[in-house]
Amino acid sequence: MTSVPTAAAAPLTQDTPGFAPKATAGLRPLVGLTRPQMIEALIEAGTPEGQAKMRATQLWSWIYQRGATDFAEMTSLAKGYRAQLAEHFRLDRPEIVTRQVSNDGTRKYLLRLSGGHEVEAVYIPEEDRGTLCVSSQVGCTLTCTFCHTGTQKLVRNLTPEEIVAQILVCRDDLGEWPVAGQRPPERRMLSNIVLMGMGEPLYNFEGVRDAMKIAMDNEGLSISRRRITLSTSGVVPNIARAGAEIGSLLAISLHAVRDELRDVLVPINRKWNLDALLKACREYPRLSNAERITFEYVMLKDVNDSDADAKRLVQLIAGIPAKINLIPFNPWPGSPYERSDWDRIESFAEIVNRAGYASPVRTPRGQDIMAACGQLKSATERGRRKASDIAAEAAGGQVSPAPARLPPAHPGAPGRGTAPFGAGARARGMLQAP
């Protein structure tokens, strides 16, 4: 069996040069600990064993139900015990380096973590929900050629604390913690979580699992597992495990219906091809008509958007309770692709719909602040590099091992989709300065 990287095997890096650690550095974080881990940590810090479970319950409520960031706020605990906790633990949040708000209300946060590394998280408000797009890694190892994050090399996995903290920061910003004497609002502003930010969540399985257990805890953040979606590019050995140990909804970053094209767009396909991926989907533990798999499909002009591609897609997923999320490509500086024309997207969606699958076209959100799907990348990393360098890598340099030419979009269509990466974008002046 192919080994799968885990949090324990993740690459480790030194702190960012010149970064000054916080005053709380060296203290153990309480955020991100599971209940058993918190009980154990409290005992090690001097809490009597017979009181540790009760104290953990109290702390859990203060941290995840009231949003406490200082032990001094925890008035149900004795003053001396609060001081004892402050000597051993910390509750601080990641630093918000930048907070951008789109014309459509989307919010993008650049967060600085302990050690100086940075990640992005995105909040998307809608009429019936509020969704937070959460990162699981600093950078990414997958180098998908249409994704901006893939041009930023993997630095490390995020800890459960750093994943959960993205949720806490967003709730802080939304002002969504309860206020004494005020009735809570009828509807949550942050109601849904998608693990679709920076990184591949199934390459950080333990960190993501522990963080989501906290998010789903009825006495914690209390977000239903059916309101959490984990998106993977296809780490096949961990898909069934995700269903059994996390239990969230599953989304698959598909983006191509032929192995030779998916090898280019989503290079992990070279390790686990379409047959292996779809077999894992059919065997997903929680698969049902009530809990369908979402197949994400980014629409790339003259690459994967033909009627033949749509018909092949329907054939591939036959028998799988599913919906197809069609994602208009969101350009980024140096991106080598273009968005499919709207009439082409509509034609593709119609074929999928006629086959009995819902195929909503995702409305691009947050494009004016580079917060849309596939655009995330830490701003400081973007600032260090020229757009021309990013484009060169995406066209076949270090970031993408793909060949210079895409395979034909479908048999019998010579010339379609065979232009060199970036040729069409350059001709139309789509390359943007960072």
- HSE (CB half, 13 Å, CA atoms) of 103? 3
DSSP state of 246: T
Place of tokens 């960012």: 16
* 146 lies in the same domain as 72: no
Tens digits of residue pLDDT in 227-251: 999 999 999 999 999 999 999 999 9
Active-site residue (options: 120, 161, 296, 393): 120
Q: Does 1 reside within a domain? A: no
Query: Which of the residues 147, 170, 373, 393 is marked catalytic?
Result: 373
Last residue of a domain, one of 90, 118, 144: 90
Strand, coil or helix: 323: strand
**Crossing angle of helices 35-44/49-64, nearest 10°?**
120
CB atoms within 10 A of CB 2: 9
Q: Per residue of the chain (434 residues), what is the pLDDT tens digit?
A: 444 444 334 444 444 444 445 656 689 999 999 999 999 999 999 999 999 999 999 999 999 999 999 999 999 999 999 999 999 999 999 999 999 998 889 999 999 998 789 999 999 999 889 999 999 999 888 878 778 766 677 889 999 999 999 999 999 999 999 988 888 777 899 999 999 888 999 999 999 999 999 999 999 999 999 999 999 999 999 999 999 999 999 999 999 999 999 999 999 999 999 999 999 999 999 899 999 999 999 999 999 999 999 999 999 999 999 999 999 998 877 788 899 999 999 999 999 999 999 988 866 554 555 444 444 444 444 444 444 443 443 344 333 333 334 554 444 333 333 222 222 222 222 222 22
- Residue-level pLDDT at 296: 95
Q: Last residue of a domain, which of 46, 75, 90?
A: 90
- Whichever domain contains 401, its CATH number is 3.20.20.70
Q: Is 373 a catalytic residue?
A: yes
Same domain, residue pair 173 and 78: no
Nearest-angstrom CA–CA distance, 426 and 432 = 10
Task: Report pLDDT for 394.
Answer: 38
pLDDT in tens, 126-184: 988 999 999 999 988 887 877 876 667 788 999 999 999 999 999 999 999 998 888 87
Residue 11 counted as domain residue: no
For residue 34, what are the domain limits?
Answer: 24-90
The tokens describing 213, both together, are: 């257990």
State the first-to-last Cα distance of the chain, in angstroms, to the nearest integer.
Answer: 42
Based on the fold, state whether residues 266 and 300 are members of the same structural domain. Answer: yes
What is the domain count for the chain? 2
Q: Tabulate helix, strand, coil % of the chain (nearest 5).
A: 35, 15, 50
Q: Does 5 fall in a domain? A: no
Same domain, 296 and 407: yes
- Long-range CB pairs of 309-315, under 8 A, 24+ apart, other chains included: 309/256, 309/257, 309/348, 309/409, 309/410, 310/347, 310/348, 310/351, 310/352, 311/351, 312/257, 312/258, 312/410, 313/254, 313/257, 313/352, 314/351, 314/352, 314/355, 314/357
Per-residue confidence (pLDDT) for residue 429, from 0 to 100: 26
Beta partners for residue 249, in sequence order: 229
d(Cα 276, Cα 101) in Å, to the nearest integer?
Answer: 40
Q: Which amino acid is at 412?
A: G
State how far the Cα of 98 lies from the Cα of 33, in Å rounded to an integer: 27
Look up 120 and say whether it is catalytic: yes
